[in-house]
Homo-oligomer: A and B are copies of this chain.
C-alpha cells in the first residue's frame, strides 16, 4: 500500500523529518536493560533543554490528553477547587477531566477567540478561598489562541499557595515557555506537535511545589498515571510499564535536531512563519479567528467567508493540491480553517499552503486576487 505523501499542515500531527522517522529503524531492545537506560537519559536531557527546566520531565506512552489526566489525577482530590478558564474545545476537555477526578471546577468563561487574562484568574482566586490549582490550556488548538499571561498566572499561583498546570500540548517547542523562570508547576505536551515526532508519547514536567502536593494526596491516581511510581522508575532509567521504545528513538532524534537549531532560532522561525500566514490571510481578505494580541505562533486560524463550505476547502486543498489542513471544532466547526504552524514548518511550507488556499478559494468562485496572499506572506520572510 503506497501512501501519498502530502504536506501535513494540521495542528498536529505535523510533518515528521525523515531523520526522525529513520531513527526508529532500530532492533528491539530490553526496556529493562542498559540500551534503554542510555536512550532514556538522552531523552531526559533533551527534554530539560526544551522545557528549560532543571526539574524532571517524564515521558508517558499516551496521547497528550493522557498526560493532562496524569497531572490532574495526581494533584486533585474530590472537592478540591480548580480554576479552569474555558475558551475553546480543549479547555472544555480540561474542565471535563478535572470533573472526572472529583475536582470542584471554578469556571472562568471567556469568549472563544479570546484568551483569559491574569486579571480574570486573579479575580477568581481572590473570590474563592483555597484554590488548589489553576489549570490552563496554554495554546487553544481549537481557536488559535495563546494565553500570553501565563507567566503572571504562575506568579499568582505562587502568591496564593496554589499550583499552575499548563496544557502546552500544541505550543511547547514552538514558542517561549521557560518552565523554571516562569514557575510553571506542571506542564504537559505531546510528541506530535511542535516537537515534530510521530504521535504516541506525551511529556510532563513536575516542579518541586507540585511534588509537595502530590505527596499529600489522599486518593491514589490511576495505576498507569502514578507520578511517584513514574519518578521512582525514571530515577533508575526505567518506566513502570513497557514504553513505546521506537517512539523514544524518534523523540531522541527530534530533541537532537532542536538542540542543533537552538531554541531561540526555533521560536523565531515559528513566529516568522505565523506572521507570514496572518499576512497572507489578510491579503486574501480572511480574518484570523483569534483576537490580534493573542494569536498563536503555532496554530493559525482564519474565519471563512460565510458562502464558503469548509469541507470543500479541506477536500480541494487535499485532493487537488496535496496539502492537509482542517476545519474548526465544536461550535465553530464550519466557520474556520485551522493550520498547524509547527515543528518543521518553514517558508516553502507556508507559501505552498497560502498559495493553495488562494487557489482553492478561487476554485470555489470566491473572489481573490491571485498572487496577493503568497506575495504578502513572502514579504514577511524577506523584509528586515
Task: Give the residues in chain B near A292, CB-CB below 8 Å.
Answer: none
Number of chain A residues close to chain B: CB under 8 A: 54
Q: Does A6 contact B (CB under 8 A)?
A: yes
Q: Does A32 contact B (CB under 8 A)?
A: yes
* Complex: A245 Cα to B14 Cα, angstroms: 12
Task: Give the residues in chain B near A192, CB-CB below 8 Å.
Answer: 28, 242
Q: Mark A214-244, 1 if CB is under 8 A from B, else 0.
A: 0000001011110000000000000011111
* Complex: A100 Cα to B221 Cα, angstroms: 8
* Copies in the assembly, this chain: 2
A200–B200 touching, CB < 8 Å: yes
Task: Give the residues in chain B near A116, CB-CB below 8 Å.
Answer: none
Q: Does A104 contact B (CB under 8 A)?
A: no
A223–B3 touching, CB < 8 Å: no
Q: Does A365 contact B (CB under 8 A)?
A: no
Task: Give the residues in chain B near A349, CB-CB below 8 Å.
Answer: none
B242–A35 touching, CB < 8 Å: no
Q: Does A313 contact B (CB under 8 A)?
A: no
* Complex: A381 Cα to B168 Cα, angstroms: 56
Q: Does A61 contact B (CB under 8 A)?
A: yes
* Complex: A5 Cα to B35 Cα, angstroms: 12
A30–B8 touching, CB < 8 Å: yes
From the candidates B27, B100, B240, B242, name the one contacting A223 in the complex (CB within 8 A): B100
B62–A223 touching, CB < 8 Å: no
| Further pairs besides A62-B62, A64-B242, A200-B200: 11, Cβ < 8 Å | A3-B35, A21-B24, A31-B199, A61-B63, A65-B224, A73-B222, A97-B223, A198-B244, A222-B224, A222-B225, A246-B247
